[in-house]
Amino acid sequence: MSEVKVPELAESITEGTISEWLKSVGDQVEKGENIVELETDKVNVEVISEVAGVLTEIKAEEGDTVEVGSVIAVVSDGEAQPASNDAKPEKQEEPSKEDAGKPEATEATEDTETKEESASSNERIQATPSARRLAREKGIDLSKVKTQAGDVIRPEDVESAAKPQPQAKPAEKSQPAQAKSNDNPSKPVVREKLSRRRQTIAKKLLEVSNNTAMLTTFNEVDMTNVMELRKRKKEKFQEDHNGTRLGFMSFFTKAAVAALKKYPDVNAEIDGTDLVLKQFYDIGIAVSTEEGLVVPIVKDCDKKNFAEIEQDIVDLAVKAKDKKLGLDDMMGGSFTITNGGVFGSLMSTPIINGTQAAILGMHSIVTRPIAIDKDRMENRPMMYIALSYDHRIIDGKQAVGFLKTIKDLIENPEDLLLES
């Protein structure tokens, strides 16, 4: 017998939420096979079985919060035999023989056999663990449930199968149901529990707001030169680097590295009464997903070229949207860049990420009339940039200088080769 425990996740993660059981009680599991998915503050983690055997006990349901080190399941030696294993403990017929002449005993025995047959047939039907649990709760035979998509029965299929019973009297049933969910039926609302990730995002953002002296400074960047350079080089760049596209993020990442070297306090954090100056350049790139914002880390940006940075950003964005980010993808960032411009944001004050000292915000590129000198005006592609920073660490002069460095390097992109 082997206990399945919540593994060590990361230094800052002490608990997770059971997202989905990938195996049910009675299922055969192989050594190293994923049996349950945990949702943590940062990423989803699949927990494996350390031994081969049969999953004999599940100690935490989907939606439960479990701490690192706690036992959530038991895997026993042997092979799965769901039908015979279920039949043996319930097939204790000696006591019922004393009452063999009684109709009640005969009916009870037949009922038990029917339930066993139903349970055995249910075990052979492909269904998610949450669908099986819901079917048990509602007393629904899975063999009579029709799937809406694919061959695997899901909770929504069970819900559909359950609908005809309560809808026997639709006119009478609809009013009480609304009364329970809404105090004012004319103002309908939908109440949903926040996902663990959304709860964590809310908690962390409040912590940053409450525990830092956050301030934001702004500047604007003329994107003319970098856009012209990108236009000239993008096809050759893509050919030389196996299809990797040249975007704006690599320019801003390289500019940020150069500015961090010039203003090291921006690449720092406070630890108690100590100032920790980081001498590495792992840049977090904010990525929007259906479940909320995540910030995977592009490691060692000072040692990577434009193509490597662009490819890393693409790879991390795909992993984020496919929910395949690992803990290593999320840990150790020293500075963060967020680009609200992809959603049309003209200007914003981004919130610092975790214990970092600052965050750079990029925004939409908008054509605006710009004074070139006293006599000339030109329409130029302009972007507002913002630096939110912890005023406990960084003074206004440093913040303005940092942002000015970003501006100068983007407006003169060839200087990035010398500075980064």
Which pair of tokens denotes residue 63?
Answer: 């939606």
Which pair of tokens denotes residue 312?
Answer: 């890393």
Which pair of tokens denotes residue 179?
Answer: 């009364």
361, 388 contact by CB (below 8 A):
yes
32, 5 contact by CB (below 8 A):
no
d(CA 10, CA 354): 15
Provide DSSP, 21-82: ESS-TT-EE-TT-EEEEEE-SS-EEEEEPSS-EEEEEE-S-TT-EEETT-EEEEEESS---H
158, 145 contact by CB (below 8 A):
yes
Determine which one of 64, 99, 111, 391 is catalytic. Answer: 391
d(CA 278, CA 266): 9
d(CA 196, CA 15): 11
d(CA 270, CA 356): 8
Catalytic, 391? Answer: yes
Q: List the one residue out of 345, 379, 374 whose CA is nearest residue 362.
A: 345
Q: SS3 of 85, please?
A: helix
d(CA 405, CA 225): 16
Catalytic, 241? Answer: no
Q: Which residues are the active-site residues?
A: 391, 395
